[in-house]
Structure 1
Amino acid sequence: MKTRNIALATLLATAFAGNAFAFPVSGEGPFFQNDAVTVSATSREAVQQDAIAHRPAAGAQNAVAAVRAASSQLTRAQVRADTVEAVAHGQFAKSGEMS
């Protein structure tokens, strides 16, 4: 008796299992699949360069826009000379616990 019930339950489960995933659930797949397919005219190199230039936000501060400093027109040697001159006149950069 138990064997017959187990076999019947297995048969019914197999019969109804095919309809379990007939329609996509929210987030599982697109409902409209008749969209026109277009081919991009952008080259692979251009796409790679754009991806390198605009990296995705990541990390703890991903919601904060990156503040980019203006590019300096001074060379490394000029900045070093200005720093040495400022230290010679008693101007030091604030650093450490007392800053």
Structure 2
Amino acid sequence: MKMQIKMVKEGMTTIINHNVAAINNVAAISSAEVTSSVVATSNKVAAIVNSKVVAIVSSKVAAIVSSKVAAIVSSKVVAIVRTNVAAIVGSNVADIVRNTGGDIL
């Protein structure tokens, strides 16, 4: 019985440590990609990227993404984004929005 408890305990420790490592890894990648951009957030924005949003962020793209905002912002665009904004659409992004039926998320 003690052996089983020890095995379960060690297994849980491994899972917890693995999850924390994954979270730290994502945080580090996000920080590296976003550090060069000036980002203003309010208490209504939970995160730059959350589990409901799939985003590809390259060094040439600065994006603020929340569950209520669908936005692709290039480095040539200066924008203030609130949670009640459906989309910021530039001339280069218009085709992407049209091709997806206006629903990026």
Q: TM-score, normalised by structure 1?
A: 0.27
Structure with more relative contact order (C-alpha pairs < 8 Å, separation 6 or more):
2
Q: TM-score, normalised by structure 2?
A: 0.26
